[in-house]
Amino acid sequence: MFFLIYNIFSIFLVLPVIAYHLYRSISRGRPPALAERFGFIPKAERSRIRNRPVIWLHAVSVGECIAARPLLKALRSRYPGHAILVSNTTETGRVTASTFPEIDLCIYFPFDFLPAVRRALNSIRPELVIIMETEIWPNFTREAASRNIPVILANGRISDRSFARYLKFSWFFRHALQLFSRLCMQTETDCERIIAIGAPAGRTLKSGNLKYDIPYRQVDQDEKRHLKGQYSIPDGLLVLMAGSTHAGEEQLVIDTYRKLLSSFDGLFLVLVPRHPERAAEVASLLERAGIPFRRRTSLLRSDEFQRGDVLLVDTVGEMMNLYAITDVAFVGGSLVPTGGHNLLEPASLGVASLFGPYMSNFREIAELVLQYGAGVQVDSSEGLTESCRTLISSAELRRVLGLNGLKLMRDNGGATERHMEIIGRYL
């Protein structure tokens, strides 16, 4: 009865959903790809996975793609005869995934509209579906189960902020959760939460966080110098980076930067909005502050930056290279109530990090970063300024925080192998 009501209701939602996606794509200057979202995959694209068993991994956006990377590498190594298909929901996720050499085909995930789901599954015929983190779509899960296609939830998590909402609508989610073959959750708390929402306890297990399995290393000076050259940044400048920032944070970062410039020579800021389409908005903030800047997309290597300038990054897929040239990193989404972003990215490159109080989406990681002494949590823009000042003043403190971050990565890996042990039972 639930699925009947759900599908009747979804018929009335088709037009509003189409209108929303058209508006979102046009406003961001990106193709809407409605055909793919309705399950139509071009024949030329399908030919890339033809005559091979298919592993379908779904990663909503950039963060899920990055988290999935160790798993994708392990799948490619262990199952070389399989085709690997990755689907995304967002355009930035699609751009990021398309750069991964392990993947044979990238598509947009179909709307959870029954004809779209059936068309996509009939076209792809996957041997296994892996859903990253917490994507629960009733029609997709039910249609996969009806075809005896196992569906595994990988790297599952239920954040503090979303738990109450999921619990309130457990009557909706439990129908899909009961159809998952296995639910691999990051922590015991995540296991308890998803079982409370309706997942079968016998198929739910703690597998750890795949994000700890991203490659980690100390970046040497020669590599830093080379990468700085690619971004037209003089080698002698100390680089501050504000990564994955959201509306309301860029102004705080700009204010901090202006204060620091009055006290320190040789500073340079790399500013990376989480959503590149906000670059024009951030550019206007820099213009009003009177700070010279250039966008990444208009950068000429022959035209070198000066101290006090800003590189405004309006591209995707360059975050790790940018962290590699950074001396002090602020990880955004944390000074405004967004839930934070992944502190392991700077930690994996031995970079000292700063972050704000709003880390509900990365609660466990934030606690570990503080436990290992790999970063500093601030509670305001004033705290951000003072902590930046302290780190800029002490190369030794930056070095210690960076080494602690590398130790955190070394001590907390292993989730990929635990996931692969589960996946191996279905392939």
CATH number, domain at 234? 3.40.50.2000
Whether the pLDDT of residue 127 is over 70: the answer is yes
Say yes or no: 168 and 225 in one domain: no
Question: Whose CA is closest to 426, among 149, 85, 184?
Answer: 149
Residue 104 has what pLDDT? 97
Same-domain pairing of 396 and 256: yes
User: Whole-angstrom Cα distance, residue 307 to residue 238?
Assistant: 9
CA distance 130 to 151: 6
- What does the pLDDT read at residue 12? 83
- Shared domain for 231 and 335, answered yes or no, is yes
Q: Which of 331, 326, 386, 327 is nearest to 354 (CA)?
A: 331
Q: What is the pLDDT of residues 340-399, one digit of tens each?
A: 999 999 999 999 999 999 999 898 899 999 999 999 999 999 999 999 999 999 999 999
Same domain, 243 and 161: no
For residue 196, the tally of other CB atoms under 10 A from its CB is 14
Query: Does the active-site annotation cover 64?
Result: yes
Euclidean distance between CA atoms 84 and 96, whole angstroms: 15
Instruction: Give the CATH number of the domain where residue 117 resides.
Output: 3.40.50.11720
Q: Are 351 and 204 in the same domain?
A: no
Q: 392 is in which domain, residue-wise?
A: 221-411
Number of helices followed by number of strands (H, E) in the chain: 19, 14
Total domains in the fold of the chain: 2
Q: What is the mean pLDDT of residues 129-142?
A: 94
Quick one: pLDDT at residue 45?
A: 92
Question: For residues 66 and 86, is the Cβ–Cβ distance under 8 A?
Answer: no
Q: Could you report the per-residue pLDDT of 232-275, keeping only the tens digit for each?
A: 999 999 999 999 999 999 999 999 999 999 999 899 999 999 99
**pLDDT for residue 303:** 82
Residue of 36, 45, 64, 287 marked catalytic? 64
Q: Distance between CA atoms of 295 and 314, rounded to whole angstroms? A: 6
Q: Are residues 262 and 198 in the same domain?
A: no
Same domain for 95 and 205: yes
Q: Dihedral sign, CA of 93, 99, 100, 101?
A: positive
> Could you read off the pLDDT of 64-109 as tens digits, one per residue?
998 999 999 999 999 999 999 999 998 888 989 999 999 999 999 9
